[in-house]
Amino acid sequence: MQEFNLYQYYKSAKKNNIMLYFKGAVSQEILVEIGLMIRKKFSVEKQIKKIFGVFIELAQNIMHYSTEIEYSKRDNINTGIGIILFAETEDEFQIIAGNQIDNSKTDSIISKIDIVNSMNQDQLKEYYKEQLRTDSEDLKESGSKGAGLGFIDMARKSKNKIEYNITEIEEEKSFLELTVRFKKENG
Amino acid sequence: MDDLIIEGSKTRPYVKFNGRTAMLEIGGESYPENAMEFYKPIYDWLDLYLLKNSEREIIFTFKMIYFNTSSSKAILDILDRLESHHTSGGLIKLVWLFEEDDEDIEESGEEFIDGLTLNYVIESYDD
């Protein structure tokens, strides 16, 4: 723990308006508690259900797709490890999620997000309907949980592009960072 | 056929399938850890029920508050079953309820139903 400076960490979080964050295995219990906390804390916010929805998609992405895994003996399941932050500035809310991925997945994630980011709201609506059908069939064949739908949903709910950043950690692993922003309504 | 009753939780919808009255309802929150695992017994019950009840009218109600993207696939799978019952001559009425002013749930209902030929209503309710 020698290199970890809690005060620096605190200062940085404060400076970036981070309201809450979690780092660790994103289990269903953790996700439910943080989700309900956000829903309660921002219950007067008009977009709260959309913000909550994006939080759930991001957190479940970590849970299912992070390649850094914690095994729970009690529940006999693997849970993805990652970090998720929730920030509020004067004019927006931000949800930022990060986790490890295999480098072999990088291209497909980037291309899924780029497609979503290239579309306007009407196109996203059509694309969602289309992917809902496609993913349904994929699901039966490959057992994929269909992250494509998640990205479309986040772009629709936030009415924003999904920002991503990928940092190569080592030869086979990278760190994927996703940011979704919500503009506050009426300033 | 026995009823299918599942109590809702923070992350799982309630299920009230009354076999005798043919009133089937799902509602609440849906973001379970594994949507397919949760919805499997619902499909199984429904498949058998539809098979056994080709003559009478079945009223299927959705009263969702929030569902994640994996649950939206599960909902679509239910609608596909209802639609196929309808196209093979069964009587289905679909009721999609949304809380007043909840445009997301209203719009998702419209999206799900778009392209289906069964009878439906999309209605708001006051909480």
Residue whose entry in the numeric block shows the structure tokens 């729970």 = A72
Cβ separation A36–B104 shorter than 8 A: no
pLDDT score of A3: 84
Distance from CA of B33 to the nearest CA of A (A): 6
How many other C-beta atoms lie within 10 A of the C-beta of residue A148? 23
Can you list the alpha helix ranges (DSSP code H) found in B59-102?
69-87
Determine the Cα–Cα distance for residues A61 and A45; give it in Å rounded to an integer.
25
Report the pLDDT averaged over residues A81-85.
97
**Is B36 within 8 Å of A56 when comparing Cβ atoms?**
no
CATH 1.20.1070 fits A6-102+159-183, yes or no: no
**CB within 8 Å: A146 and B68:** no
B103/A contact by beta carbon, under 8 A: no
**Per-residue model confidence (pLDDT) at position A135:** 55
Q: How far is A94 from chain B (nearest CA, A)?
A: 19
CA distance A49 to A52: 5
For this complex, say whether ipTM is above 0.85. yes
Q: Is B11's Cβ below 8 Å from some Cβ in A?
A: yes
pLDDT (tens place) for every residue of chain B, 127 residues total: 889 999 999 999 999 999 999 999 999 999 999 999 999 999 999 999 999 999 999 999 999 999 999 999 999 999 999 999 999 999 999 999 999 999 999 999 999 999 899 999 999 998 7
Among B38, B33, B43, CA closest to B84: B43
**Is residue B73 less than 8 Å (CB to CB) from chain A?**
yes
Q: Determine the pLDDT at residue B89.
A: 95
Residue ranges per structural domain of chain B: 4-65+73-125
